[in-house]
Structure formats: structure tokens, C-alpha cells
Amino acid sequence: MRHWLTFESQVTELDSDGAQDTYWADAFPHNPRMPCDVVDMSGRELIAAQASHSKVTTKLKTRFRPGFSAGMRARDGFTGQIFNIEAVILDPNSRRRWVHLLCTSGVNAG
């Protein structure tokens, strides 16, 4: 596990004017960075409005921690790459030792 990723969740708050303010905050405040394995599984290119965009499906493997959910994201602080978590899969053989996160990156990266 050579990639250190920071896990974030989307937070919506009301500002002083009553308008909603949405931002990304650390999902695990005491230790948001975790070592992960990053494996690119597939990729495709989308062409819309004469612009080319790529979308990559990635699997992240990390230690189990309660609180992972779809809708969160992982951010690589070194490269700046963002992984949008689409599904959380617990490893049935490891007794909650590992968790697999299926992610997308590219088109709508947070």
C-alpha cells in the first residue's frame, strides 16, 4: 500500500445569510489519511460538446474503518487526483480487516 489518500465527505451548512454552503471536509477528523492500493480497472473516453473527457474506473483497497459510504471521495495529496466513491465492498474473508472501494475519476471529479 503505497498511496496515501485523504477521505472526504460533502458537508452542507447555512451561512450567515441563510444560503447553503457546500464543501468537502475530512471524513475521519482524527486521521483522514490512509494507505491504499490503487488499481485502475477500466477507462473510456467521452466526447460531448466537441470536448473530450476521460472516465476511469478504479478499485481502492484499504484497511476497514467504520464510516465509509458511497458519495464520499478520496484525494491523493501528492498528485491531486480525486476518486469519487461509487460503492463500498467489505471483504467477507478478512473479517472486516480490508475494504474495497469502487471509484470513478475524470469526468466529475468532485
Instruction: Say what the pLDDT of residue 6 is.
Output: 94
Provide mean pLDDT across the span 24-40.
89
Q: What class has domain 3-105?
A: mainly beta
pTM of this structure: 0.80
Please give the Cα distance from 8 to 52 (Å, whole number): 27
For the chain, the structural domain boundaries read 3-105
**Helix extents (H) in 27-86:** none
Structure confidence by residue, pLDDT tens digits, 55-107:
778 899 999 988 999 999 999 988 889 999 999 998 778 778 899 999 988 65
Structure confidence by residue, pLDDT tens digits, 4-26:
999 999 999 988 888 888 999 99
The answer, yes or no, to whether residue 52 has pLDDT greater than 70, is: no
Please give the Cα distance from 62 to 58 (Å, whole number): 13
